[in-house]
Structure formats: C-alpha cells, structure tokens
Amino acid sequence: MPGWTWCSISASFPTTVPSCREAASRTCSGAGRATALVHLLTGATVMGLEIQPALVRAARDLFARLHMSRASCAQGDAASLAGQVRTGTVFFLYCPFSGDRLAKLVADLEPLARTRMIRVCCVDVPLPPCPWLTPAGPARPGDLAIYRSTLHQVTEAG
C-alpha cells in the first residue's frame, strides 16, 4: 500500500470508529499492518480475516511482537464467512475480490446491519449497488470510501 493511502486511512479511520469499544474487522488483511494501524489509532478491538496461511502467521507474529492482545487474525474466506459475523461495527475491505463474491459478502452483512449501524470502508473497491449502504461523503480515487448502514433501529430510552 503506497504511503499516501496509509495517510488517507490514518486520517479517516479515527473518525470512522467513534468509540474505542467498537470492534473493527478487516477482510483480506494480509500481514496485519493495516489491522495493527487501526488498533493503534483507535484502541478498538480489531480482527483481520485472511485466506493465505502464511499471511495469517505473519499478522499473528506482528500482533505478538507489538503486544496487541486486542488484535487478532483468523484464516478463512471472507465471502464464505461474512454471514457468520456477529460482532463488529466497522468493516474495512482492501482489494478483497469483486463480482458475485463481493455482492455475497455485502449481502451477508445485512443481518448485522439490522441490529446496529455498521460502516463498510474500502479503498479502490467499488461496492455493488446496495440500498441500505449510503456513502458517508465523497471519495476520490485512492481515498478511503466510507459507507454507513441505514437499517438499524434507533431506540430512545424512555
């Protein structure tokens, strides 16, 4: 990832994760660098998901070296596992895939989005049309694009 992309992510992510208690997930997390960065910038619990075993080991080694007990990386295929996600409020997609597999991942996040507002963030990954995700603001090519869900029910304490 070029340096300017890191700057774009580091400048945008703290405002994307408004509470350190929120969990962030990252698909196609590679060697864990961006996952570690999100944790360092926000204090959020973070989980990466990577399909390649060698990159999963590299991410876990990085988290261990940095003594990050609230950072983890699981091995698996995001397109197959997104429907099993029960936690998380911010999902960062970095060059995961496209087409039907990406559409399936986004559709599989919908049940979670019905329980709470989630954010789907991506860099140079055009999301398929999805009526329950709206852009949080304009994004230029190469910038971090942030989408917010609109399905959750907000209840007021009476």
Contact 46, 29 (CB under 8 A): no
Which pLDDT tens digits describe the chain residue by residue (158 residues)?
Answer: 333 333 344 444 555 544 434 555 555 577 888 889 888 888 888 888 888 899 999 999 999 999 999 888 888 887 777 766 677 788 888 766 778 888 888 898 899 899 888 888 888 788 888 999 999 888 787 788 899 999 876 544 44
Contact 17, 24 (CB under 8 A): yes
Which residue has tokens 């007990």? 69
Handedness of CA 143, 30, 109, 119 (dihedral sign): negative
Structural domains in the chain, sorted by start: 3-10+22-149 (3.40.50.150)
Write down the number of H helices and E strands in the chain. 5, 7
What would the two tokens of residue 138 be? 């304009």
pTM value is 0.74
What pLDDT score was predicted for residue 84? 66
What pLDDT score was predicted for residue 80? 76
What would the two tokens of residue 106 be? 């986004």
